[in-house]
């Protein structure tokens, strides 16, 4: 075990959050999460919003470089020289494929232009069958169909349109629920789909009793923007899984942002409970 890993395990979460917050401020960090707003409209008034066309153009340009092999990886329109794998997410995908004859049919809600698909395609290409359906805003869908759609990667503006063509065995929600005005409505809609596996990643949580509504300010080096963002009460959030879902794994995500409360970005892998087979699923 490395010294860095050991220090992380031994450091209390509150102290870790304080150190991360101080490090962000020393780096000139007015960026990240701030505020404690009473409603979405109030957080919107405190935000600048963002130029959708500019952000989409930057994302298209970055993703085309990844698709064409000119860059290894893209996240939030930023290019990286090497792929930053979210190994727990990939493990969840492979686990779901293993439980369904090696086939993977993903509904990626809010999946941009295929960031997670291209991140993991070196592993996905060895499965006997892969279909990756992204549900996104109309602008992303139009660009996705024009530049990226193929026999494996598909784009839709509505969940029901995706379901009309294929039935997913995995639903992914990565860095999306915190930016939705009514996140639990969206979460419940996706949990009700006829699908047995759910993976949530890059989602901010804290240990408090209620959700916090903040404004996230993005560094101008990425794109000039600020917009509302939730920090979820972990207890409340996981309560939506209690009856019908079994949490198979919880894991750390790649994100780190300054926040007004002690926040961790986490992921969850869950499987739908089957009456009379819970003990069997726990052994898998």
- What gap in Å lies between CA 56 and CA 163, rounded to an integer? 25
State the alpha helices, DSSP H only, in 11-51: 13-26, 40-45
Average pLDDT, the chain: 89
How far is the CA of 99 from the CAs of 81, 92, 153, 166, 262, in angstroms?
33, 11, 22, 18, 36
- What gap in Å lies between CA 245 and CA 241, rounded to an integer? 5
How do residues 91-110 score in pLDDT, each as one tens digit?
Answer: 999 999 999 999 999 999 99
How do residues 57-71 score in pLDDT, each as one tens digit?
Answer: 999 999 999 999 999
Q: Which domains does the chain have, with CATH numbers?
A: 28-50+85-283 (3.40.50.150)
How far is the CA of 262 from the CAs of 33, 58, 206, 216, 249, in angstroms?
11, 32, 6, 15, 21
Q: What is the value of pTM for the model shown?
A: 0.86
Q: Are 83 and 119 in contact, with CB atoms under 8 Å apart?
A: yes
Q: Look-up: residue for tokens 């139009």?
A: 142
- What gap in Å lies between CA 223 and CA 58, rounded to an integer? 9
């Amino acid at each position: 075990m490395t010294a860095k890993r050991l220090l992380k395990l031994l450091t209390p979460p509150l102290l870790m959050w304080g150190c991360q917050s101080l490090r962000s401020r020393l780096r000139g960090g007015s960026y990240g999460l701030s505020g404690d707003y009473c409603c979405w409209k109030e957080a919107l008034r405190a935000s600048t919003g963002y130029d959708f066309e500019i952000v989409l153009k930057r994302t298209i340009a970055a993703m085309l470089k990844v698709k064409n092999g000119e860059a290894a990886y893209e996240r939030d329109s930023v290019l990286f020289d090497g792929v930053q794998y979210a190994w727990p997410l990939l493990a969840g995908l492979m686990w779901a494929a293993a439980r369904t004859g090696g086939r993977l049919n993903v509904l990626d809600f809010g999946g941009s232009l295929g960031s997670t698909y291209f991140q993991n395609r070196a592993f996905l290409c060895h499965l006997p069958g892969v279909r990756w359906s992204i549900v996104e805003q109309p602008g992303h869908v139009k660009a996705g169909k024009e530049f990226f759609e193929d026999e494996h990667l598909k784009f839709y503006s509505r969940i029901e349109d995706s379901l009309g063509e294929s039935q997913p065995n995995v639903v992914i929600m990565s860095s999306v629920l915190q930016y939705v005005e009514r996140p639990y409505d969206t979460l419940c809609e996706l949990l009700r789909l006829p699908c047995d596996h759910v993976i949530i990643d890059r989602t901010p949580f804290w240990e408090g009793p209620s959700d916090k509504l903040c404004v996230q300010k993005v560094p101008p080096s990425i794109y000039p923007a600020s917009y509302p963002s939730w920090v979820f009460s972990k207890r409340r959030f996981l309560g939506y899984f209690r009856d019908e879902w079994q949490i198979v794994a919880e894991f750390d995500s790649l994100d780190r942002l300054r926040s007004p409360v002690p926040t961790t970005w986490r992921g969850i892998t869950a499987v739908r409970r089957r009456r009379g087979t819970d003990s069997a699923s726990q052994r898998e």
